[in-house]
Amino acid sequence: MKLHLYNTLSRSKEEFIPLMEDPKYHWPKKDSVWLYSCGPTVYRDPHIWNMRAYICRDILRNTLEKIMWYPLKSVMNMTDVGHLTSDEDEGEDKMEKWAKREKMTVRQLADKYIASFKRYLQMLNIDEYQIICRATNHIKEQIAMIQQLEEKWYTYIIPGDGVYMDTGKIKDYGYLARLDIQWLKEWARIENENKKSKTDFGLRKFSPVDGHRQMERDSPRGKGFPGRHIECSAMSSRYLWDQFDLHTGGVDHISVHHVNEIAQSECALGTHPRVKYRLHNQFLNLGGKKQSKSEGGLVTVDALVEKGFHPLDFRYLCLTAHYRNFLDFNEELLETAQNSRNNLIKKMQKLFSFNQQKNQWNAVFLNDWTIQKIRGDVHAKVIIDFDYPMSYETFKNTLTSKYVGDALEEMMNALMDDLNTPQVLAILNQTLNSSDQVEEVEMKELFVALHRLEKNLLKIWLFDRIGSEKEKKSEEVPEEIRKLAEKRTQAKKDKDYALSDELRDKIIKKWFQIKDTKDGYEITKTS
Ligand SMILES: [Zn+2]
C-alpha cells in the first residue's frame, strides 16, 4: 500500500517516502515521521473555516499514524504574540487590539483562546498534536535564528522600523509559490520606501519609541517583537530539526507566509529543501466568499450546535469534499450532511442489529469500556480484534471474507490517493447498501473492519445514536436506572468495587451508560 500526496513544491502527486526510509537521506537518523502544522492566532474563537483545516490535517495524521502505522512526531504552533493584521505584516496588532476589547492582558487573552481552540478540537474529534508550542515561549529561538541570518549577511536594518530579510540575496526566493518577482504587483506586499526590494519582509520589528507593546521583548537589536513568519521557522527547527517530512497549512499561506518561512529557514540553516512534502488545504466558502476572523464575520462550532447540529455533522461535511477543493458552506448543505450522517448511522444500526434478540451486536455498539467489560460472550474474538492496534496491511491479512476485504481495499485505495475522503465515504455507503450480500458469518468481519475505519480514520461516530448531545442528555432516565446508579455510588463509597462493577453492568445491560463526573455521575442512553 503506497500513499500518494499532492506536494505543493512539485505541484504533483508524489509517493510518500518518509525521510527515515529515504535512501537519499542520511543524517540525523530519524525514527519517526515529522510533521509541522501552522496553528491558529489565538485572539478569538476559531471559526469553522479554521476548523476545516484542522479536520483535513487530522485525516492526514490518522492515515500516517493509524492506517500506515508510522510513528509520528507532530508539532503545532500557537501564535500568541502580536503579528500584524495580515500576512504582509501590516496594520494593527490583532492580539493587542482584542485584548483591549476584552479588557484583559494579551497573555490572558491567549490563554483563553488556546483553551477554546482545544475545546473545539475535542468537539470535532481531532486529536491534539503531541507538541503544541507557543510563540511567546520561544522568543530566544526566534532571536537566535535572526542572528544566524545576520551573521550570513541576509539581513539589514531599517532604523526605527525593524530587521529585514534581504530577499534580493536569495537566488530562488519564492520557489514554493512560483512567484514571478518581476511581475509581482507592488500592492501585493507591504509598501515601505526603505526596503531594498518589494519582497523583503520583517524578521523583527522594533517597538515604537512613543508606545509600549505588551508582548515586546529585549533583543541584541533593542526592544521589539517578532515578524509574522519567524516563529514557525524557529519552532519547527527546535522540535523537528533542520529538515523534516511534512509541513501543512492553508492555501492562503503559500504565497507569503510559507515562502518567507522557507526563505529564512533555508538561509539560516543551510538545508534545501527544508521540508520534503508541503501540503495545503483549500478554503471553506461561506456564501461564496472566504470568511476572515479579522473582518468580524464569525461562524463557530458552538454557533452550529446552538442551531441544533452535532459538531460531527460539520466534520462529516468536511470529509465530503477533497481537502484541496473548495468546500461550500451554508446551513442547507450542513443539513444535508446531517441527514447523510444520520442515514449512515441508521444503516449501521440496521446492519448490526440483525440478531438483536440475542443482545449480541448491540453489545458492541457501546463504548470501549463496555466492550472490555463484556468479555466471555460470543464476541470475545471481535472485541479483541477491534481493540488490537495494527496497520491496515496487517489487519487485511486477518480477513477471510472477500466481500469485506474488497470493500476495505477500495476504501484504502481512495485514501492512499491523496486522502480522497469523499470517495471513501461513497464506497462506505455502497458497501452498506449492498450489505444484503453479506453472509452472516462475514458480519463479524464487516463490523470489525468498519469499526476500525471509524475509530482510526473517520471519527464521525458511525456507531452512535442519532441526535445531538443535548437531546441525548435531556432524555429521561427511568427511576429503576437512577436507583441502580445511586446504589452504585453507595457501593463505591463503601469501597465495595465488585458490587459497584456489578451494578454498572446491570445499568449497561438496560442500555444506559454511566460515566463518573466531578459531581457524581452522568447517565445516557445507549440504544
Ligand atoms: Zn506557520
| Rounded-to-integer distance, Cα 490 and Cα 508, Å | 18
109 alpha carbon – ligand 1 mean position (Å)? 20
41 alpha carbon – ligand 1 mean position (Å)? 10
What is residue 363's predicted lDDT score, i.e. its pLDDT? 43
DSSP run (H or E) holding 249: strand 244-250
**Which DSSP category does 284 fall into?**
E
Ligand 1 ion local residues (Cβ < 5 A) = 38, 232
290 alpha carbon – ligand 1 mean position (Å)? 19
Residue (of 140, 107, 131, 128) closest to 234 by Cα position: 140
Q: Are 62 and 456 in contact (CB under 8 A)?
A: yes
11 alpha carbon – ligand 1 mean position (Å)? 20
Q: Are 361 and 447 in contact (CB under 8 A)?
A: yes
Residue 229, burial from CB neighbour count under 10 angstroms (0-12, 13-18, 19+): buried
Look at 29-43, 72-86, 450-464, 487-501 and tell me which has the smallest mean pLDDT: 72-86
229 alpha carbon – ligand 1 mean position (Å)? 6
86 alpha carbon – ligand 1 mean position (Å)? 13
285 alpha carbon – ligand 1 mean position (Å)? 22
Report pLDDT digits (tens) over 378-402: 344 444 445 566 778 878 887 788 8
Query: DSSP H helical segments within 152-282, as ranges?
Result: 230-240, 259-269
38 alpha carbon – ligand 1 mean position (Å)? 4
Report pLDDT digits (tens) over 418-436: 999 999 999 999 998 887 7
Beta bridge partners of 513: 524
387 alpha carbon – ligand 1 mean position (Å)? 36
Report pLDDT digits (tens) over 322-333: 999 999 998 899
246 alpha carbon – ligand 1 mean position (Å)? 13
Sign of CA dihedral 386, 367, 451, 356: positive
What is residue 76's predicted lDDT score, i.e. its pLDDT? 97
What is residue 458's predicted lDDT score, i.e. its pLDDT? 95
Report pLDDT digits (tens) over 135-162: 999 999 999 999 999 999 989 998 888 8
477 alpha carbon – ligand 1 mean position (Å)? 48
79 alpha carbon – ligand 1 mean position (Å)? 9
**Torsion-angle region of 205 (φ positive above 0: left; ψ -120 to 50: alpha; else: beta):** beta
The full set of domain ranges for the chain reads 4-8+21-301, 307-458, 475-525
468 alpha carbon – ligand 1 mean position (Å)? 35
190 alpha carbon – ligand 1 mean position (Å)? 19
Question: Is the model more confident about 508 or about 281?
Answer: 281
What residues have CB less than 8 Å from 301, skipping those under 6 apart?
48, 51, 120, 123, 124, 311, 314
Confidence of residue 351 (pLDDT cuts 50, 70, 90): confident
231 alpha carbon – ligand 1 mean position (Å)? 7
DSSP run (H or E) holding 155: strand 155-158
| Rounded-to-integer distance, Cα 244 and Cα 86, Å | 27
357 alpha carbon – ligand 1 mean position (Å)? 55
129 alpha carbon – ligand 1 mean position (Å)? 15
78 alpha carbon – ligand 1 mean position (Å)? 9
Q: What is the mean pLDDT of the chain?
A: 82
What residues have CB less than 8 Å from 354, skipping those under 6 apart?
361, 440, 443
- What percent of the chain clears pLDDT 70, i.e. is strictly above it? 80
248 alpha carbon – ligand 1 mean position (Å)? 8
118 alpha carbon – ligand 1 mean position (Å)? 18
C-alpha cell at 10: 512539485
Report pLDDT digits (tens) over 24-60: 887 777 889 999 999 998 988 888 989 999 999 999 9
| Rounded-to-integer distance, Cα 337 and Cα 312, Å | 10
pLDDT at 367 over 60: no
Domain 4-8+21-301 is found in CATH 3.40.50.10800: no
C-alpha cell at 424: 471513501
495 alpha carbon – ligand 1 mean position (Å)? 51
90 alpha carbon – ligand 1 mean position (Å)? 17
Q: Which residues of 267-294 are buried (b: 16+ CB within 10 A; e: fewer)?
A: bbbeeeebbbbbbbbbbbbbeeeebebe
pLDDT at 499 over 70: yes
345 alpha carbon – ligand 1 mean position (Å)? 37
